[in-house]
C-alpha cells in the first residue's frame, strides 16, 4: 500500500496535476490510502462550502488510516528524534508514523520533510 501525502492530494484535487495523477494510476488506485492527518489538513484548507464538498467527494475515494496507540507512540519517538535536528512537524511525524507502523510507502512531493526518517520508504 502507498500513503498519499497531503501535497499529493492538493496536486490531484485542487490543481489537476496530470503528472501526479499519472503516477497514482501507475501505482494502482486500489493500492492508495491517506492518513487521517492528511484528511484533516485538506478539510482545514477548504476555502468555502463548495470547495469542502468537492474535497470530501474526492477524499472519500481513499481508505483513511486511523491513528492507533502504536502510531501515537512512534510519532512521539520521531518528534523526539527529529524535531530539533530536522524541523519535523507534528502532522509530518504522524503521517510518517502511520506509514512506518503499517509497513507502507509514502508518496510525497516534499521529500525534504521526510528523507531523514529511518525506516520510511519514499516514492
What is the chain's pLDDT, residue by residue, as a tens digit (123 residues)? 999 999 999 999 999 999 999 999 999 999 999 999 999 999 999 999 999 999 999 999 999 999 999 999 999 999 999 999 999 999 999 999 999 999 999 999 999 999 999 999 999
Q: Per residue in 82-101, pLDDT tens?
A: 999 999 999 999 999 999 99
Q: Per residue in 99-110, pLDDT tens?
A: 999 999 999 999
Q: Which three cell numbers stand for residue 83?
A: 524535531
Superfamily of domain 2-122: 5'-nuclease (3.40.50.1010)
Beta-carbon contacts of 117 under 8 Å, excluding residues fewer than 6 positions away, are 78, 82, 88, 96, 100
For the whole model, what pTM was predicted?
Answer: 0.95
Which candidate, 117, 105, 118, places its Cα nearest to that of 5? 105
Amino acid at each position: 500500500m502507498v500513503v498519499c501525502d497531503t501535497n499529493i492530494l492538493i496536486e490531484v484535487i485542487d490543481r489537476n496535476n496530470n503528472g501526479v495523477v499519472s503516477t497514482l494510476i501507475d501505482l494502482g488506485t486500489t493500492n492508495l490510502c491517506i492518513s487521517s492527518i492528511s484528511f484533516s489538513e485538506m478539510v482545514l484548507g477548504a476555502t468555502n462550502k463548495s470547495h469542502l464538498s468537492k474535497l470530501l467527494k474526492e477524499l472519500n475515494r481513499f481508505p483513511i488510516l486511523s491513528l492507533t496507540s502504536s502510531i501515537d507512540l512512534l510519532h512521539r519517538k520521531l518528534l523526539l528524534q527529529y524535531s530539533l535536528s530536522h524541523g519535523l512537524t507534528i502532522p509530518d511525524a504522524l503521517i510518517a508514523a502511520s506509514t512506518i507502523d503499517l509497513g507502507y510507502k509514502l508518496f510525497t512531493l516534499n521529500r525534504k520533510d521526510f528523507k531523514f526518517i529511518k525506516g520510511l520508504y519514499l516514492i
